[in-house]
């Protein structure tokens, strides 16, 4: 069919009646819609969560990739197994050991970022109408994935030490009384996206116990664990409950998101299902990307690189927290992350972060309104601020502008 309009044009979609029901749950997130605006150069974007890959030693990476093709081209450019390259799976086990995890490479499935692992776990476990319990707020694209499988997300409150175990137990009990059962607890326990909050050590075993008693599988999503800005890495939930946790990891924040290498570590029966799901989703992962990550970790000073990332993000986090302290009016509160990329800011009573956004953008600062991180439309009074991408002085400038916008709203 010839048409002058681009295929994504504004005409009525002639295939409207053909879509599967689940496509109804696939809608663009508020975060995505915001990126076009926030990426304009005059705007200080505290919205996006992009890691700062320009800090990587590009020449060393290029040389390593050229060597990879010269030395291992026939493997790097060939199909591989759906489970992933065995050498990389070994390397991944050594990475997870830093968080107290004792894993066997056989139980690792390499995925296209941890986002694909989220999709595969959902595909394997969720039927339409199933319930996933998750922190409130939670990672926006996980909500998108659960919605795409027609599952319902129920939120549990957090405080500054993470999800409340009693509230979690109460949520499971409430669901059971209503004749529904939670299938998964989806949690980002360490340096949470979007709240910047970490589940306290003393709560971790309690959360695992609450899930074990309720027969709920824990989906631990941990892309930020090695970006701790103080002290040592947190002990993963998976370290203390190998049979009850599917752990998701990623090299997106600790190396480069463009390589799209993440993984799932799962109990062996679950792993088998994930491998079958991966096979139908993608046949095999990019062998080139997997071998590149494995080679980088085995031949380059990755630990040094991680230290540099931590220093860079620490400086940015401190710039944001310092500026918030200096400029925000009374009644505004925020979290103080020990790692990762995000601060969660709560506005004074009566203000709405979504209605305030156009004024913020007019003043050249962008953030993500809190409602995008809830499945139930709450979060109006909150917003996510990220400190990962702009340099420290831009962050400080953005926060100062934002404080001015909030003051303006308070005077309206």
Q: What is the contact surface with ligand PMP in residues (CB under 6 A)? A: 49, 113-115, 139, 188, 193, 221, 223, 250, 252, 257, 262
Q: Which two tokens stand for residue 116?
A: 């694909």
Nearest to 106 by CA among 129, 124, 130, 90: 90
Determine the Cα–Cα distance for residues 364 and 341; give it in Å rounded to an integer: 21
In angstroms, what is the minimal distance from the CB of 106 to ligand PMP? 22
Quick one: 171 or 187, whose CB is closer to ligand PMP?
Answer: 187
Distant-in-sequence, close-in-space partners of 27: CB < 8 Å, separation ≥ 6:
144, 147
Q: How far is CA 223 from the centre of its chain?
A: 6
Identify the bridge partners of residue 383 per DSSP, sorted by sequence position: 345, 369
Residue 212: C-alpha distances to residues 199, 208, 225, 248 (Å): 17, 6, 23, 19
Quick one: 165 or 194, whose CB is closer to ligand PMP?
Answer: 194
In angstroms, what is the minimal distance from the CB of 73 to ligand PMP? 26
> Beta-carbon neighbour count of residue 205 at 10 Å?
13
**Bridging pattern class, strands 217-221 and 245-250:** parallel
Per the CB < 8 A criterion, the answer to whether 371 and 378 are in contact is: yes
Quick one: 188 or 319, whose CB is closer to ligand PMP?
Answer: 188
Residue 199: C-alpha distances to residues 22, 121, 163, 196, 276 (Å): 33, 22, 6, 10, 32
Per the CB < 8 A criterion, the answer to whether 249 and 222 are in contact is: yes
Quick one: 250 or 401, whose CB is closer to ligand PMP?
Answer: 250
- 3-state DSSP assignment of residue 343: strand
In angstroms, what is the minimal distance from the CB of 214 to ligand PMP? 23
Quick one: 122 or 252, whose CB is closer to ligand PMP?
Answer: 252
Q: Where are the beta strands (DSSP E) in 225-366?
A: 245-250, 261-265, 333-334, 342-346, 365-366
In angstroms, what is the minimal distance from the CB of 16 to ligand PMP? 30
In angstroms, what is the minimal distance from the CB of 10 to ligand PMP? 30
> Beta-carbon neighbour count of residue 377 at 10 Å?
7
Nearest to 320 by CA among 384, 408, 381: 384
Quick one: 49 or 370, whose CB is closer to ligand PMP?
Answer: 49
In angstroms, what is the minimal distance from the CB of 342 to ligand PMP? 8
Quick one: 131 or 222, whose CB is closer to ligand PMP?
Answer: 222
Quick one: 49 or 80, whose CB is closer to ligand PMP?
Answer: 49
Q: Which two tokens stand for residue 336?
A: 């103080």
First to last CA, the chain: 54
In angstroms, what is the minimal distance from the CB of 402 to ligand PMP? 22
Determine the Cα–Cα distance for residues 303 and 293; give it in Å rounded to an integer: 14
Q: Give the residue closest to ligand PMP by C-beta.
A: 113
In angstroms, what is the minimal distance from the CB of 31 to ligand PMP? 9
In angstroms, what is the minimal distance from the CB of 355 to ligand PMP? 26
Quick one: 48 or 392, whose CB is closer to ligand PMP?
Answer: 48
In angstroms, what is the minimal distance from the CB of 341 to ligand PMP? 8
Quick one: 247 or 288, whose CB is closer to ligand PMP?
Answer: 247
């Amino acid at each position: 069919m010839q048409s002058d309009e681009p295929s994504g044009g504004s005409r009525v979609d002639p295939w409207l009646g053909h879509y599967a029901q689940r496509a109804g749950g696939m809608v663009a997130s508020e975060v995505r819609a915001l990126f076009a605006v926030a990426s304009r150069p005059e705007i200080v974007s505290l919205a996006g969560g992009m890691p700062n890959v320009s800090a990587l030693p590009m020449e060393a990476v290029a040389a390593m990739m050229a060597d990879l093709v010269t030395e291992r081209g026939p493997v790097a450019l060939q199909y591989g197994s759906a489970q992933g390259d065995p050498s990389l799976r070994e390397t991944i086990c050594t990475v997870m050991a830093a968080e107290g995890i004792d894993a066997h490479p056989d139980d690792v499935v390499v995925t296209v970022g941890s986002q694909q692992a989220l999709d595969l776990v959902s595909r394997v476990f969720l039927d339409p109408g199933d319930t996933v319990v998750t922190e409130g707020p939670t990672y926006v694209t996980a909500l998108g994935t659960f919605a795409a499988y027609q599952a319902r997300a129920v939120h549990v409150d957090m405080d500054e030490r993470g999800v409340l175990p009693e509230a979690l137990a109460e949520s499971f009990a409430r669901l059971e009384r209503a004749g529904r059962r939670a299938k998964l607890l989806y949690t980002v326990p360490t340096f949470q996206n979007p709240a910047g909050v970490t589940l306290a050590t003393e709560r971790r075993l309690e959360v695992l116990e609450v899930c074990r008693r309720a027969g709920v599988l824990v989906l631990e999503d941990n892309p930020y664990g090695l970006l701790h800005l103080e002290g040592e890495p947190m002990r993963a939930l998976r370290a203390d409950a190998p049979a009850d946790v599917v752990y998701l990891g990623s090299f997106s924040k600790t190396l480069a998101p463009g390589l799209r290498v993440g993984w799932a570590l799962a109990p062996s029966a679950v792993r088998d299902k994930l491998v079958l799901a991966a096979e139908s989703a993608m046949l095999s992962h990019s062998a080139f990307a997997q071998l590149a990550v494995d080679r980088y970790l085995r031949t380059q000073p990755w630990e040094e690189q991680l230290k540099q990332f931590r220093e860079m993000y620490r400086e940015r986090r401190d710039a944001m927290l310092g500026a918030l302290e200096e400029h925000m009016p009374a009644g505004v509160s925020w979290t103080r992350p020990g790692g990762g990329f995000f601060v969660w800011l709560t506005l004074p009573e009566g203000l709405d972060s979504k209605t305030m956004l156009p004024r913020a953008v007019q003043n050249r600062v962008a953030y993500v309104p809190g409602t995008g991180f809830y499945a139930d439309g709450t979060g109006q009074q909150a917003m996510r601020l990220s400190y990962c991408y702009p340099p420290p002085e831009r962050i400080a400038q953005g926060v100062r502008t934002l404080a001015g916008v909030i003051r303006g709203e308070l005077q309206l």
